[in-house]
Structure 1
Amino acid sequence: MRKPVKAMLTTAASLLALAATPVLAADATQASAGQLSDGTPVTAVTLKAANGVSATVLTYGATLWKLYAPDRDGQVADVLLAYDDLAGFEKRPNFWGATIGRYGNRIAGGKFTLDGKTYTLPQNDHGQSLHGGGKGFDVQNWKLESIKSGKVATAVFSLVSPDGDAGYPGTVKAKVTYSLDESGNLQIAFDATTDKPTVLNLTNHAIFNMAGEGSDRDATTNVLTIPASRYTPVDATLIPTGELRAVDGTPFDFRKGKPVVQGIRDGKDQQIVYGRGFDHNFALDKGVTKTPELAARLEDPVSGRVLELLTTEPGVQFYSGNFLDGTFIGKQGHLYRMGDGIALEPQKFPDAPNHANFPSTRVDPGKPYRHVMIYRVSTSSR
């Protein structure tokens, strides 16, 4: 029996409408990024969302290399400072976009005590351990475990850090999963296990300018919001004193949002003098959470590009690019100077193993470590 003509037309129209409906998805592709100086091949994985957001991650350092974001007019720009090639990352490591471990941020004197035993870590020229030491996770070539396209595009990277690596106890098996959904939300999940009690503090060290990398508007023109009523002041070597100080009435009050440039030259505040600007951990009002919650919001008012940082961790380190001294040549030959980019690193607090009042960074066998953070990219209206 033939269908009525009207029914056939209705069915055809439905099929045409379905075909015209955009299928939102996120793609994952991989390509060679070249070789390190010792011949080790490095892979680049690109995750691309339907709305124009894309992220490229290197196996070297499990590094977030590029993050393209559209402005309110649809113009796409890379908002991350970094090098153009592997040679730059090797010759002058600067943590840009890298996965940081075993311990993000500083440990005083390069020492901590755990269960009555003192462990000694590699020290920099300031006599402290920074971001895991000179051969941290940021300069290791991670294994690419898998990539997948779909409603969420994912790339999974793994690394084994042996017992005693950089002075830390326990064999740590780490995994970093980058996931980009069809709306352009980039999630980074850090998972790790250990076979001995140890300390662990993993994060990403991306350097942002929401006006776009190399823009004539530097990152200090970005408007920053941090929902934190306290921060951890530091000594002259940028090690936390152990105090949790109120931001009220100080340049560190970003609760209502303000341009980064406001307060960055306030020489009357000793903390600004110590940091040459902002280089401090903020104690988020939310504390430790099971799911990621807002830690910071960064906006370029001109283009309308917005970045929201969400995390399960209790702190975020805000660094205003104070040590970019004009000797760093980055993407497209751009010369990076002070304030050209800023970092927002979600984390446990710096030097926490040496401060009993700070959130613990201890990890034990059978109790896996997990930190989930999200870079949520959007645009604001005029």
Structure 2
Amino acid sequence: MKVETTDILGKWKEYTLVNEQGMSVSVINFGGIITEMLVPNRNGKLENVVIGFKNYADYETNPNYFGALIGRVAGRIQGGEFVLNGKTYSLDHNDGDNHLHGGASGFHQVIWNVDPFQTSDTVGLKLTHKSLDGDGGYPGNLDVTVTYILNNDNQFTIDYAATSDQVTPITLTNHSYFNLSGDLKNTIHHHHITIDSEEIVKLDEKLIPTGKLMNVFNTSFDFRESRSLREGFNDKSEQNTVAGNGYDHYFIFNKKKENAVTVSDEKSGRLLMIKTDQPGMVMYTSNMLEDGMELKEGFSEKYLGVCFETQASPASLHYPGFPSVILKAGEQYKKQTVFSFSIVR
């Protein structure tokens, strides 16, 4: 096991975690961005299973948040504001009238402090950042630690921790776009997904959570048993259509299964299982991904990757009954998501 370090563009560093199976995860200190993840297929061939730019300079704008750490609040905040203890806080409006993924200067745009480490059976990176009171409009000085860990069982773990000196909203996630075909050989139409969820949050035409829940029974959002993503792309129901003919919805987990999500690609033989203590996730199937951006393997196109943004729900800032994003002063925010790669049996 090892950690390799490379200078990027004369101003960033890329760290590559490598285990004894050959699996590797590459991360740059800018935005904590995962740029590449090499995972074996059923024949043992190592290929990249996430979307990344060919030219690192493109990460400076990165409008699709490829691989990035997202905060302080992942997702859309309606109207770019919220009320906390009777006070209204105005945030950056970077998605029309709304606030998206921490704003234009969110955690995906900061240089993180990175400390590599190694144990007997893991390699990892400890990323830290101090977000000052008022950053992006958010209250409180927030100390954030995100730890990336790779072990020899091809498990990649992300641990999130934070404390604030004032009550503040926070829900962190990683915005990697997965494609298990390897080196972006195919779109994600044939990926089969299972999600331990019976309810999603309905969206309006601007992709803002409405505050209403929808039961997934007898819809293309019912992933309690494995189904292909293609079915949702072709479904003309209202919720698939508002999301751009696909998925960009918050799934509330039942917490009945050990793995909240499983993903498989029959052709490559890759299987991804996701375990988390988060209350739900946004599954986004790159419905809005424009054509023609130069990537490590070819060019971008619609449905090229799928994000599993494990998190609480920013809808809780405006509607009751949703998983909360509020962190009290002096308390610790602590969450974990584990991505386990193996082969379809």
Spell out, residue by residue over 1:205-250, the C-alpha distance to the aligned partner (whole angstroms, 9 max, x if none).
00011001320x2112111111101111111111111122110011
Structure 2 residue aligned with 1:305, among 263, 270, 274? 270
Report the secondary structure of 1:138's partner residue: helix
Q: Which residue of 2 aligns with 1:9?
A: none
CA spacing shift, 1:317–1:164, aligned 2, 3 Å = same
Identity of aligned residues (%): 32
Which structure 2 residues correspond to residues 91-102 of structure 1 after superposition, within 5 A? 91-102=61-72
Contact 2:293/2:300, CA 8 A, preserved across alignment:
yes
Spell out, residue by residue over 1:74-104, the C-alpha distance to the aligned partner (whole angstroms, 9 max, x if none).
1111000011232111144321111100000
Task: Identify the structure with the greater strand proportion.
Answer: 2
Which structure 2 residues correspond to residues 100-139 of structure 1 after superposition, within 5 A? 100-139=70-109
Spell out, residue by residue over 1:130-178, the C-alpha distance to the aligned partner (whole angstroms, 9 max, x if none).
0000110001110113432531111101111100000000011111101
TM score, norm. by length of structure 2? 0.96
Which structure 2 residues correspond to residues 9-28 of structure 1 after superposition, within 5 A? 26-28=1-3
Q: Which residue of 2 aligns with 1:273?
A: 241
Spell out, residue by residue over 1:111-145, the C-alpha distance to the aligned partner (whole angstroms, 9 max, x if none).
11111111011112421100000110001110113
By how many angstroms is 1:293 displaced? 4.3
Spell out, residue by residue over 1:159-202, the C-alpha distance to the aligned partner (whole angstroms, 9 max, x if none).
11100000000011111101111111000001111011100010
Q: CA RMSD in A?
A: 1.5
Which structure 2 residues correspond to residues 1-382 of structure 1 after superposition, within 5 A? 26-35=1-10, 41-215=11-185, 217-267=186-236, 269-276=237-244, 277-286=246-255, 293-332=258-297, 334-381=298-345
Report the secondary structure of 1:325's partner residue: coil
Find the aligned partners of 1:210 and 1:150 in 2 and give their Cα distance. 29
Report the secondary structure of 1:263's partner residue: helix
Contact 1:69/1:377, CA 8 A, preserved across alignment:
yes
Spell out, residue by residue over 1:302-333, the C-alpha distance to the aligned partner (whole angstroms, 9 max, x if none).
1111111111101111111101120322114x
Contact 1:230/1:245, CA 8 A, preserved across alignment:
yes
Find the aligned partners of 2:318 and 2:94 in 1 and give their Cα distance. 18
Matched residue pairs, number? 344
Report the secondary structure of 2:291's partner residue: strand
Q: Which runs of 5+ in 1 are unaligned?
A: 1-25, 36-40
Contact 1:228/1:283, CA 8 A, preserved across alignment:
yes
Find the aligned partners of 1:132 and 1:164 in 2 and give their Cα distance. 12
Which contiguous aligned blocks of 4+ residues in structure 1 show a shift greater than 6 angstroms?
none
Spell out, residue by residue over 1:267-303, the C-alpha distance to the aligned partner (whole angstroms, 9 max, x if none).
1x1101100111101001019xxxx942211111111
Contact 1:188/1:373, CA 8 A, preserved across alignment:
yes
Contact 2:50/2:178, CA 8 A, preserved across alignment:
yes
Report the secondary structure of 1:241's partner residue: strand
Find the aligned partners of 2:209 and 2:88 in 1 and give their Cα distance. 20
Find the aligned partners of 2:205 and 2:225 in 1 and give their Cα distance. 28
Q: Which runs of 5+ in 2 are unaligned?
A: none
What is the identity, as a one-letter code, of the residue corresponding to 1:169? P
What is the identity, as a one-letter code, of the residue corresponding to 2:273? E
